[in-house]
Structure 1
Amino acid sequence: MLTFVLSSMLAVGLSLTVREILAPLRNYRLIVLALLANFALMPLAAHVITKLLRLDQPLGIALLLLGTAAGAPFLPLLARISKGNLAFAVGLMVLLMVVTVGYMPLVLPLLLEGVSVDPMKIGRSLVFLMMLPLAIGLLVRARLGRLAAKVQPSLSRVSILSLIVLIALLLITNMQNVLSLYGTRGVLASIFFVAAGSGVGWVLGGPQSDTRGVMALGTAQRNIAAALVVGGQNFNDPKVIVMVVVVAIVGLLLLMPLARYLAKRSQLASNRSSNASKLQSLEQSAADGARRGL
């Protein structure tokens, strides 16, 4: 996990500038919709799924923790795979992480009696594991552009390989935990939850496909680290943590294929646009030739 987060954040920082990251965040309508999706509709989705499937209390608590925890470090890599707007993905990730640090301590005690959230513990991992490597990458890109261009592809490959290893390790080490949820509808709830996130993000992601795909992936992929911190602090029932881990596994297994599908969809749209432009150019040339003949 550590290798993936560090290499991914560094690679993203080396490939972008601060101006490129901030530019998409000036679309205030899109930002408001992103906040609505992640901090209002996802907690609501967690509550509805819990009631609909009649989940045991620990599983419902885990979904609610995830519903209030947004801003996953996986988002930039998923955006890169999907050929989405990488700058928007990074800006959105940082925004959601920062809001999560303040949102969870305020909202969770209102939703779950007896819960206390230490924002410093969430913020510490945010700063040291994500923001600092991202800032270092941005600084190197700004000061040493040639070095950044040479190093960035290697770091991107490392982040992809480490993600594959992470998924495999999560499956191997948590298989027993996944099986322990058999008969509790926990896995089904995880699928519904991730699907709800991607659907909400897609609908609210605006008219442009590159931001719509990022919103779908970013809303569905939750901040697992923040949910684990709060769950470990407040609940003795191990099923809370197990459910958080299961949602993380299900999310990666569903969103990686979704990202690849979005990439193919983007490529097809690009090809159609290119063919239409060529056809229009040929028609214009033919029309010009006909006028000259006259």
Structure 2
Amino acid sequence: MEILSKAATVSALVFFISSMSAMGASLTVSQISRPLRNVRFISLAILANFVLMPLIAFTIAKVLWLDEPLAIGLLVLGCSAGAPISPKLSEIAKGNVPSTVAMMVLMMVITVVYLPVVLPMLLPGVTVDAWRIARSLLLLMLLPLTTGLILNAWFADLARRMKPVLDFISNVTLIGMTALIVITNSDRIVDVFGTRGILAGFVFIGLGAGTGWLLGGSDAGTRRVMALSTAQRNFAAALIVASQNFSDQRVAVIVIVISIVGLLLLLPLARALANPFGEKSPL
């Protein structure tokens, strides 16, 4: 199991780096910066991710009478936005990828500031190491994304040839990462049975997707971006907070379990959104 756990970590690292590099290799800085000038889009994204999702998490915990450690883990996830996997989900769903990348980077930056300020108010005694979260932003997202953007700007032909290779690597490692995470955490998933934690995860992800969809406006591509990006939470940031602050392992366990639920729900949802009339997915 230890070997599989290490393989899952390696798969995740390769996925994030190849996925972000592929996005950068197909985009320009102006394409990514343009959505950030859309005040309505950004305002609704912030509302969805940093007001409504924490509120949804809090409400679900109360309605389902979750044990305190599970409720805390769910709330931490509700406050953590900017998942590195969201651009890949948007690409699968044929959403607006530049908007997704812009939203992901902005949400992650806000998360780095938001968590240390808000979580101690919601959960007294909690401290958040902003640098540890920011480091994942820099190494797993911004650095490979910037490398891809530079490659596309200076060596466009090479970027076009590299894009399919990077896409293939990211697709393969996404499948491997998902399978390995499920396998290596199967005992933790079993431990959550009977606690209503898995049910909470399904409701949380479903309401997140619905909230993003409703706030996405009339454009289908933007709705897909908002739905998938709002539902998929920042697992890495939430797990850092959970492991740093709580001796009860169930806080980290519910973060892991709900993150698995998110992958299992949102990957098929992305494919369904790409082909609403039953057409075959290109992926």
Q: Give the TM-score, by structure 1 length.
A: 0.90
**RMSD value over aligned CA atoms?**
1.0
* Equivalent residues in 2 for 1:132-211, closer than 5 Å: 132-211=143-222
Query: Partner letter of residue 11 of structure 1?
Result: A
Equivalent residue for 2:126, pick from 105, 115, 139: 115
1:240 aligns with 2:240: no
Shift of 1:182: 1.0
Q: Distance in 2 between matches of 1:118 and 1:177?
A: 25
Shift of 1:206: 1.3
For the Cα contact (< 8 Å) 1:83–1:266, is it kept in 2?
A: no
1:105 maps to what in 2?
116
CA-to-partner distance for each residue in 1:70-109, whole Å, 9 max, x for gaps? 0001111111100010110100100100000000000000
Shift of 1:171: 1.0
1:214 maps to what in 2?
225
Aligned length, in residue pairs:
268
1:17 maps to what in 2?
28
Which aligned segments of 4 or more residues in structure 1 are displaced greater than 3 angstroms?
A: none
Task: From the two aligned structures, give the one with the greater helix fraction.
Answer: 1
1:62 aligns with 2:84: no
SS of 1:140's equivalent in the other structure is: helix
SS of 1:265's equivalent in the other structure is: coil
Q: Distance in 1 between matches of 2:277 and 2:136?
A: 34
Query: Partner letter of residue 69 of structure 1?
Result: S
1:283 maps to what in 2?
none
1:126 aligns with 2:132: no
Percentage of matched positions with identical amino acids: 54
Q: Distance in 2 between matches of 1:266 and 1:232?
A: 43
Q: Distance in 1 between matches of 2:247 and 2:179?
A: 27
1:71 maps to what in 2?
82
* Equivalent residues in 2 for 1:220-235, closer than 5 Å: 220-235=231-246
CA-to-partner distance for each residue in 1:250-283, whole Å, 9 max, x for gaps? 0010001110111012898xxxxxxxxxxxxxxx
Tell me which structure has the larger Cα radius of gyration. Answer: 1
1:36 maps to what in 2?
47
SS of 2:84's equivalent in the other structure is: coil
Query: Partner letter of residue 170 of structure 1?
Result: I
Shift of 1:221: 0.1
- Structure 1, unmatched stretches of 5+, are 269-294
Query: Partner letter of residue 183 of structure 1?
Result: G
Q: Distance in 2 between matches of 1:103 and 1:206?
A: 26
- Structure 2, unmatched stretches of 5+, are 1-11
Q: Give the TM-score, by structure 2 length.
A: 0.93
